[in-house]
């Protein structure tokens, strides 16, 4: 819901950083992989309740996720790069709640499982429509710079990052936050399935 706003805020800084990385010969795919590797350190940090370190790794991962796209727009957007980026993104999104489960299995297990379950809904509906939109040649007028159709919703990247940040700042309340955000994710999934079906059905 907020991605189209935050994209405008961070566009210039990302473009500035991407220009330097491109001059240094760093590829978008290298940034994607490195950002994911650094983000993976959030898992042990969360598991051992080092939430400040986990927050740092999460922020670095998300910065890298913005930079790889900015660099790709300079060097040339590719299907392979888009596939790599979105695959690593969804793996990382599931990694974070799993880390909170490891930190406090008794209190966080069900809430963490529910949030991951909700991420499956948002991710599958997002990617399934992107595949069909590509086959039909349906373009997104808002996110034309993306390598695949970027389907909007109540919970997008900005909201997910905000959820992770709040969880790291208030880890004792992870369960409540996870249930609330998971419910919002399911609202997104339901609306995406409905709107996606209607769009594809009308384009036949």
The reported pLDDT for the residue numbered 34 is: 97
Q: Which CATH number covers residue 104?
A: 1.20.120.1760
| DSSP per-residue codes, 49-63 | T-HHHHHHHHHHHHH
76, exposed or middle or buried, with CB in 10 Å at 0-12, 13-18, 19+?
Answer: exposed
Q: How many folded domains does the chain comprise? A: 1
Domain that holds residue 33: 3-202
The reported pLDDT for the residue numbered 87 is: 93
Residue 152 φ/ψ region, left for φ over 0, alpha for ψ in the -120 to 50 degree band, beta for the rest: beta
The reported pLDDT for the residue numbered 151 is: 58
The reported pLDDT for the residue numbered 5 is: 67
The reported pLDDT for the residue numbered 148 is: 45
The reported pLDDT for the residue numbered 141 is: 41
Under-50 pLDDT residues of the chain: 141-149
Tell me how far apart the alpha carbons of residues 148 and 29 are, in angstroms, rounded to a whole number.
16
Model pTM score: 0.86
The reported pLDDT for the residue numbered 152 is: 64
CA atoms within 13 A on the CB side of 60: 17
193, exposed or middle or buried, with CB in 10 Å at 0-12, 13-18, 19+?
Answer: middle
Torsion angle of the four alpha carbons 89, 91, 96, 99, in this order, in degrees rounded to the nearest 10: -160
């Amino acid at each position: 819901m907020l991605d189209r706003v935050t994209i405008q805020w961070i566009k210039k800084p990302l473009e500035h950083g991407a220009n330097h990385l491109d001059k240094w010969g760093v590829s978008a795919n290298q940034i994607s992989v490195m950002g994911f590797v650094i983000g993976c350190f959030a898992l042990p940090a969360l598991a051992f309740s080092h939430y400040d370190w986990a927050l740092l790794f999460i922020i670095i991962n998300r910065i890298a996720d913005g930079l790889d796209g900015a660099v790709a727009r300079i060097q040339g957007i590719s299907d392979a790069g888009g596939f790599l980026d979105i695959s690593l993104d969804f793996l990382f999104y599931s990694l974070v709640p799993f880390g909170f489960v490891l930190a406090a299995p008794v209190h966080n297990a069900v809430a963490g499982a529910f949030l991951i379950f909700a991420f499956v809904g948002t991710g599958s509906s997002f990617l399934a429509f992107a595949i069909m939109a590509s086959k039909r040649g349906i373009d997104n007028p808002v996110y034309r710079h993306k390598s695949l159709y970027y389907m909007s919703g109540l919970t997008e990247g900005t909201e997910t990052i905000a959820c992770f940040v709040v969880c790291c700042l208030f880890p004792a309340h992870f369960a409540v936050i996870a249930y609330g955000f998971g419910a919002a994710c399911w609202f997104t999934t339901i609306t995406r399935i409905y709107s996606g079906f209607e769009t594809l059905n009308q384009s036949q």
